[in-house]
Amino acid sequence: MAEPLLSVRNLTTEFATERGPALAVDNVDFDVGSGEVVGMIGESGSGKSVSALSILGLLPTPPARVRAGTAFFEGQDLLRLRASELRRIRGRRIGMIFQEPMTSLNPVFQIGDQIGETLRVHEKLGREAARRRAVELLDRVGIPSAAKRLDDYPHHLSGGMRQRVMIAIALACNPRLLIADEPTTALDVTVQAQILELLRALQRDSGMAILMITHNMGVIAEFADRVVVMYAGRVAETAPVERLFDHPRHPYSQGLLDATPVLERVERRLRTIPGSLPTPTGIDPGCRFAPRCELAQDECSRARPVPVAIAPGHAAACFRTDASAQWRLA
């Protein structure tokens, strides 16, 4: 297999808190192949956003500290780059979009200037050339009468339009990788459908890779080629998307799929995962899911499970993958 575009190994990030260090990301490994759409799913505190922000060097330090790991992107370890070197990659080779388009845009600058800024900084375009490119970009992300919109301020736009502007900025320099952190979470469902469709079309045209971070199984089902399931700072399972939905092998992935209400499967009762998410300051020697896991045995709380290969591209960090194979058969 070709070298992945992004290869993250042993990523470990902690936050200093009053109660001691909190391990937000704990030895996380994942890859994003060239042109691949990887969905990273997890609930709050799973470490999915912190993983992305760690790679991009966007966490405030302190309190955050990337304690260990490597993140190779196009031959360079992003975690070892100087701030100035990383700035040249961020926004140019790696684009980013975030959940809240209102807070990601600067309210006092016209959107044409905000798109142009990226082009002037990274591509050294002049003011006029940057404006022309900005119109093309707005057009490409589906903003009607783009030339007229350049002088609008962010508050003139709806949430969906703002997210389109964010996407235009992220794509300004034709990045090879787009990191999208919950880009549709703040949007209504009809607008979410539009944004997902836009991202998919742009991805197909440009061949860029996307790392889509979400808590929504539906977004994963719609959008991802491959899935990384995160739980409490660790990778629980990775699998091609259809395999994850048909044959999840980590009990947490199974629980997550069963707990998600879907229109097509209206049972009287949803299966639930008992208990609640663990706190990041607790140090567990074993599997972090063990206290909530129906299949847990003694060894699960004693040692940390390593990923077990189940099929090509499919691995689950679980001691009980033999037992979990019986999912939904019971």
Partner 1 sequence: MTTPLLEVEALSKTFVLPGRTPFARSAGAVRAVDGVSFKLPRQESLGIVGESGCGKSTTGRLVLRLIEPTAGRVLFEGQDILKLDANALRTMRRAMQIVFQDPQSSLDPRMTVEEIVLEPLLVQGARRDAKLKQRARELLELVGLSAAHAERYPHEFSGGQRQRIGIARAIAPQPKLIVCDEPVSALDVSVQAQIINLLQDLKDTLGLSYLFIAHDLAVVRHLCERIAVMYLGRIVEMAPAAALFASPLHPYTQTLLASIPAAHPRDRRTRPTPKGDVPSAMAPPPGCHFHTRCAFARPRCSAEVPALRTLASGRDVACHFAEELEEGP
Residue 246 neighbours by CB under 8 Å, 6+ apart:
none
Cβ distance to partner 1 smaller for residue 158 or 297 = 158
- Minimum Å distance from CB 289 to partner 1? 10
User: Taking a C-beta distance cutoff of 8 angstroms, is the pair 47, 26 a contact?
Assistant: yes
- Minimum Å distance from CB 250 to partner 1? 13
Roughly how many angstroms between the first and final C-alpha of the chain, as a whole number? 37
Cβ distance to partner 1 smaller for residue 91 or 154 = 154
Residue 291 neighbours by CB under 8 Å, 6+ apart:
275, 278, 301
- CA–CA distances in Å: residue 43 to residues 216, 253, 296: 9, 11, 21
Structure tokens at 63: 């309190």
- Minimum Å distance from CB 83 to partner 1? 34
The contact set with partner 1 (CB under 8 A) reads 43-44, 158-161, 188-194, 196-197, 215-222, 224, 241-242, 245, 255-256, 258-266, 268-274, 276-277, 292
Helix 159-171 / helix 189-206 crossing angle, nearest 10 deg: 20
- Minimum Å distance from CB 44 to partner 1? 6
Distance, CA of 59 to CA of 203 (rounded, Å): 27
Cβ distance to partner 1 smaller for residue 12 or 253 = 253
- Minimum Å distance from CB 109 to partner 1? 22
Cβ distance to partner 1 smaller for residue 71 or 199 = 199
User: Taking a C-beta distance cutoff of 8 angstroms, is the pair 229, 42 a contact?
Assistant: yes
Cβ distance to partner 1 smaller for residue 93 or 292 = 292
Which of 225, 278, 273 has its CA nearest to residue 44? 278
- Minimum Å distance from CB 39 to partner 1? 10
Cβ distance to partner 1 smaller for residue 12 or 192 = 192
